[in-house]
Structure 1
Amino acid sequence: MTPVETTAPTPDVDADAGATALPGAHQGGFQRLPTAPVDVPATDSGPAEDGEPLPEAQWVTSPSAPRSLAGGALTMAVIALIVSFFVGWGFPLGLVAIVLAIISLRRPRDSTVVAAWALALGILSVLYSGGWLLWAAGQAGLAE
């Protein structure tokens, strides 16, 4: 093996031989704490020199976006599904949920995932309600 040639360190990285620093001791470098305030240059933001008042500040609002129908459709579908577990007359709620879900699927800002769940649960509630109505018709002797 050949010996590795070593050179003396440059003064900018040479450690002071007489001072051994404890871990965490300040070794120079930073001139202020990381959370110390920073000087901010002053700006001219007062009233005009001639005494003219500043314009009145107003809230800037965006044009009101149309509300999402997906949440309403999902709420209606869940209610229709719960009602359809007990009686058959909940199918109009399911139909409303289906219509709202289809409209919501066509709107670009509405959530398609929520609208798809609303559509699926609305269809399921209509099927359950239809089953109840067929069973009731059979019990009444209307369906043969």
Structure 2
Amino acid sequence: MTIPHGDERPKPIVDAASPDVDATAGSSALPGMHRGGFQRLPTAPVNVTTQSAPTLDAPLEWAPPVPVSRGLAGWALGISIIGLVVSLVVGWGFPIGLVAAITAIVALRRPFESRQVAVWALILGLVSVLYSAGWLWRAASRANLFG
């Protein structure tokens, strides 16, 4: 392909401006320059239109999904069962019961956890702590630590 040189180049065709274009030369001398024509002050009140209240009986098109339980109550119950089994054997299993009781209390405060499982976890955790305390009391009394 060859490029034409000299006067052989085609001349651009420029049509007249359409009626919706403002053809005044001084209308936009510089970008952002004030051209006048404000209808109201920038802080003037704006007209408020009244709207009707939405109908509450409208059919439900979308609803958020029901949050699923994350299983904190189940974990608390599992830990409390382990703590109870350990406290039946040795007295030093009370930290497991404490962790189970604290986890059950946290599960009770969460809205989507199973309350029955969390209450069972709390009860079994506290029983394991009491049983461990009994073991520790027995061991301390046999060692004559209480006089």
TM-score, normalised to structure 2's length? Answer: 0.53
- Structure-2 residue corresponding to 1:132: 135
Aligned-partner Cα distance in 2 for 1:65–1:117: 20
How many angstroms does 1:66 deviate by?
A: 6.5
- Aligned partners of 1:68 and 1:109 also within 8 Å: no
One-letter identity of the residue aligned with 1:100: T
For residues 2-39 of structure 1, the C-alpha deviation after alignment (integer angstroms, 9 at most, x for no partner) is xxxxxxxxxxxxxxxxxxxxxxxxxxxxxxxxxxxxxx
Q: 1:44 corresponds to which residue?
A: none
Quick check: 1:79 aligned with 2:82? yes
Structure 1 stretches of 4+ moved >2 Å: none
CA RMSD, aligned part only?
A: 1.8
The question of 1:115 aligning with 2:118 is answered yes
Higher Rg: 2
| Residues 112 and 66 of structure 1: CA distance in aligned 2, closer, same or farther (over 3 Å) | closer
> Which residue identity lines up with residue 145 of structure 2 in the other structure?
L
1:88 maps to amino acid: G
Which AA in structure 2 matches 1:75? G
Cα distance in 1 for residues equivalent to 2:119 and 2:68: 21
Return the TM-score normalized by structure 1: 0.54
Q: Which amino acid aligns with 2:70?
A: R
Q: Distance in 2 between matches of 1:75 and 1:143?
A: 35
> Any gaps of 5 or more consecutive residues in structure 1?
1-61
**Partner Cα separation in structure 2 for residue 134 and residue 71 of structure 1:** 31
Corresponding pairs, count: 83
Identity of counterpart residues, as a percentage? 56
Aligned to 2:102: 99
SS across alignment from 2:89 = coil
CA distance in 2, matches of 1:66, 1:103: 13
What are structure 2's unaligned runs of at least 5 residues? 1-64
Deviation at 1:68, TM superposition (A): 2.1
